[in-house]
Amino acid sequence: MPKSLLRLVAACSAFLLVGACGSGDESGLVGKAGKGTIDIGISFDQPGLGVRRLDGTFKGIDVDVARYVAGELGVDETGITWSEAQPANREKLLTSGQVDLVLSTYSITEKRKEVIDFVGPYFLAGQDLLVRMDDGRITGPESLNDDPNLRLCSVQGTTSAEFVKTEFAKNVKLVEYPKFSDCVTAVLADNADAMTTDDVILAGYAAQNPELLRVVGHPFSKEEYGIGLRKGDAPGKAKIADAVRKMISSGEWRKIIERNVGPSGYVIPDPPTVAS
C-alpha cells in the first residue's frame, strides 16, 4: 500500500477514534454537565431534606447538596431539572435515564449497589420513631411489643419498618403508605401510632407540628446517605466525590446542615468521611 494511502487511513482512524471517544464522554454525567444541564431526583415532601414549597421552589439539605455538586460540575441552578424521587422508584429513575443523580435520603446499601453506584456518604443519620406528643406508650423500638394493637407506619420501598419488626418488635402491625407525609398524616389522625424512618427526616416533621408530634430520641441504626448515579460512570463518580469532599472541607457542608435543620433542635453530627 502506498505511504500516502497509509497516512490517509491512519488519519481517518484517528478521527474516528476521537469522535467515538467524544461521543462516549457526552453520554456520561460529565459530558452532559458540560452542556449546562442535569436532571436530579429529590424528595418533594421531606421538610429539612427535600421539599417543594407552595411557590414551586425547593428547599432542604439534599437540595442544597445537589445544587453544590451541580455547581462543581459546571451546571448553574437554572440548568437543573428537578424530579420527584420516591423511595419505591429511585433505582428505576436512574436506570431508565430519567434522572442523572438521586439525592433523596438515599441510604447506601449493598443490595442497591448491585443496581446503581453511590458517592458518599454525605450525611449520617439514625433510625428513630415519631409519635404523638401525648402518647407515652412508645419509648423505643422494643416498646412496640408491649401492646399487640400498636400500628407502625413506614413508606413503601424503604427497609425501616421491616428492620424494626425483624430486630425489635416481631408482633407490631405494619401500615405502609407511598409517601412520608402520608405516614405523618396517619399518625396525626390516629390511623397509626408511630412512624419510623431516619431521625433527621422525623425532626423536620416534628418541627412542623411541635405541639402535636415528637421524636422519641433513641436512634437505633446507622444510615449513610449517598448520591445515587448510574452504574459504571467512573469519571462522573470521581467528579462528584471531589465535589462532596470540597463541600465538607470548605465548611459549606456545615452551613447547609445548620440552615436546614438547625432550628428544629436536631443535634448536628460530625461530617462524614467520603468513602467513594
Per CATH, the number for 127-215 is 3.40.190.10
| Topology annotation, domain 27-124+225-264 | D-Maltodextrin-Binding Protein; domain 2 (3.40.190)
Residue range(s) occupied by CATH 3.40.190.10 in the chain: 27-124+225-264, 127-215
Predicted pLDDT of residue 31: 95
Predicted pLDDT of residue 17: 37
253 backbone dihedrals φ, ψ, rounded to 5°: -60, -50
Contact status, residue 200 vs residue 49, Cβ threshold 8 Å? yes
Nearest to 197 by CA among 245, 161, 244, 222: 161
Cα–Cα distance measured from residue 136 to residue 151, given in angstroms and rounded to the nearest whole number: 15
Blockwise average pLDDT, block size 10, the chain, 276 residues: 46 38 61 96 93 95 98 97 94 97 95 96 94 94 91 86 88 90 96 94 88 91 95 97 98 94 82 90
Coil, strand, or helix at residue 122?
strand
Predicted pLDDT of residue 62: 98
Predicted pLDDT of residue 190: 96
Predicted pLDDT of residue 12: 39
Cα–Cα distance measured from residue 130 to residue 198, given in angstroms and rounded to the nearest whole number: 10
Predicted pLDDT of residue 27: 67
Strand partners, 82: 40
Predicted pLDDT of residue 25: 52
Query: For residue 35, how many other CB atoms are within 10 A of its CB?
Result: 11
Predicted pLDDT of residue 23: 35
